[in-house]
Amino acid sequence: MHFELFVSLRYLLAKRRHAFISLITLISVAGVAVGVMALIVVLAVMNGFQHDLRDRILGVTSHAVIGHFQGTFGTYREVLTDIEQEEGVAAATPFVLTQVMMNSGKAISGAILRGIDPDSAPRVTRLEQSLLQGTLPSLLGPSSEASLSERPSPGIIVGVELAARLGVNVNDYVTLVSPTGQTTPAGRVPKSQLFRVVGLFKSGMYEYDNTLAYVHVRDAQRLLGIGDAVNGIEVKVVDIYAAAQVAEKLQKKLGYPYWVRDWMQMNHNLFSALKLEKVVMFIILTLIILVAAFNIVSSLIMMVMEKTKDIAILKAMGATTHKVRRIFVFEGLLIGVVGTLLGLAGGFGLCELLKRYQFIELPRDVYYISTLPVRMEPLDVVIIACAAVAICLAATFYPSKQAAKLHPAEALRYE
């Protein structure tokens, strides 16, 4: 064991004449531990919120979207073939997107109508896992060969919040009114069509559950009168964190007049706000460790005053200025390391309790989840531990410098 480390341990563990100094040392250790534990728990909860929110968003939307500057395009089958051959792309599906007015006979509400292909859509989004009732194949459109009187009403899947607002359930009927309308001799009039509710979905995101409705892509094309054209293509990538790179390659491959956006671009404001909030919380909670660092400074200064004669004797016996300085640096560092380890243990333990027993409940009418989500990131833990030890190390500079400046003759003059 190094001489400086040995002396530091003896100073920390030995009984002192002034118990107040030992109390301040214990308070310093506790302060570092509480600060580290608070940082770990808060950042783990914020990471849990961010990942849970991301999973819910990607459960309804795709990793990337390809659109056309003219709004609709009929060459989507050729584009689908080119996209699926691109490296990093897992699957793709066409969609039609529009705004409609929904009338159930009990209530009227605006909605975002999304026409999807039931065969390829499950390979791109997790909508099928969000269904509370019904299945995607139930969205099969009516046969075009059948007469108007024989055609059954096409199916529609609506969000649970939208269904509650309209007062409908499975097997009820709603009328969709398209504002784009159709051209007649009397001018342009809105086009309407009767749909049968064949399913309900719940994504966990209020905005989606309150506004989205799904129909077969052919029914959406027929309602809008756009023929065999779509508004865009949804793309699923192999690695969601590489979605930006894949979107950039697709943009270069397709070129103008197509545009490509990945899921991070489409939700940039939301995730930027969460990231900023996480950074601000890290800075605020680091102040707890800074308070503990001031306690370390005060305890080391008082220890230097208490051990003045010991320092003089060590110097008289041949201890250099650097060795004396390292004694007190090691002492403050040991306080920081012990406090950090205790904080890490407490943080991991509390996060595990939150994850396992979920004893903190959230109001369902305010949040989209009922309990705190917890997710610990190894990088966050490393940054917290390094920051805590670095702050404690910085707190030792002044006291150790003062201890190293003591002259043996001056210190022992009145002994």
Quote the CA–CA distance of 160 and 199 in Å, as a whole number: 9
**349 versus 145: which is more confidently predicted?**
349
User: Per-residue pLDDT for 148 more than 60?
Assistant: no
Q: What is the pLDDT of residue 183?
A: 61
User: Per-residue pLDDT for 17 more than 70?
Assistant: no
User: Per-residue pLDDT for 150 more than 50?
Assistant: no
Kindly report, residue by residue over 185-211, the tens digit of the pLDDT. 656 667 888 999 999 998 878 888 899
Token pair belonging to 354: 């939150």
As a whole number, mean pLDDT of residues 141-150 equals 43
- Of 105-119, 136-150, 329-343, 344-358, the least confident: 136-150
Quote the CA–CA distance of 207 and 202 in Å, as a whole number: 11
User: Per-residue pLDDT for 82 more than 80?
Assistant: yes
User: Per-residue pLDDT for 144 more than 60?
Assistant: no
Average pLDDT, the chain: 83
Quote the CA–CA distance of 286 and 300 in Å, as a whole number: 21
User: Per-residue pLDDT for 299 more than 90?
Assistant: no
User: Per-residue pLDDT for 85 more than 70?
Assistant: yes
Percentage above 70 pLDDT, the chain: 88
As a whole number, mean pLDDT of residues 102-118 equals 91
Residue count (the chain)? 415
Kindly report, residue by residue over 58-78, the tens digit of the pLDDT. 777 888 999 988 888 888 888
Q: Where residue 410 falls among pLDDT bands split at 50, 70, 90?
A: low
The H-assigned helical ranges of 167-267 are 206-211, 217-224, 243-254, 263-266
Q: Are 224 and 98 in contact (CB under 8 A)?
A: yes
Q: What is the pLDDT of residue 200?
A: 93
Quote the CA–CA distance of 385 and 39 in Å, as a whole number: 10
Kindly report, residue by residue over 328-377, the tens digit of the pLDDT. 888 888 888 999 999 999 999 999 998 888 777 777 656 666 678 889 99
User: Per-residue pLDDT for 145 more than 50?
Assistant: no
Q: What is the pLDDT of residue 149?
A: 43
Count Cβ neighbours within 10 Å for each residue of 239-270 and write b for 16 or more, e otherwise.
ebeebbebbebbbeebeeebebbbbbeebeee
As a whole number, mean pLDDT of residues 239-255 equals 88
User: Per-residue pLDDT for 310 more than 80?
Assistant: no
- Of 138-142, 185-189, 236-240, 276-280, the least confident: 185-189
Token pair belonging to 274: 């969460």
As a whole number, mean pLDDT of residues 122-139 equals 87
Kindly report, residue by residue over 47-62, the tens digit of the pLDDT. 888 888 888 787 778 8
In sequence order, the 6+-apart residues with CB closer than 8 A to the CB of 22 are 16
Percentage above 90 pLDDT, the chain: 26
In sequence order, the 6+-apart residues with CB closer than 8 A to the CB of 157 are 131, 134, 136, 138, 139, 197, 198, 199, 200, 201, 213, 214, 215
Q: What is the pLDDT of residue 147?
A: 40
**200 versus 302: which is more confidently predicted?**
200
Count Cβ neighbours within 10 Å for each residue of 101-140 and write b for 16 or more, e otherwise.
bbbbeeeebebbbbbbbbebbbebbebbebbebbebebbe
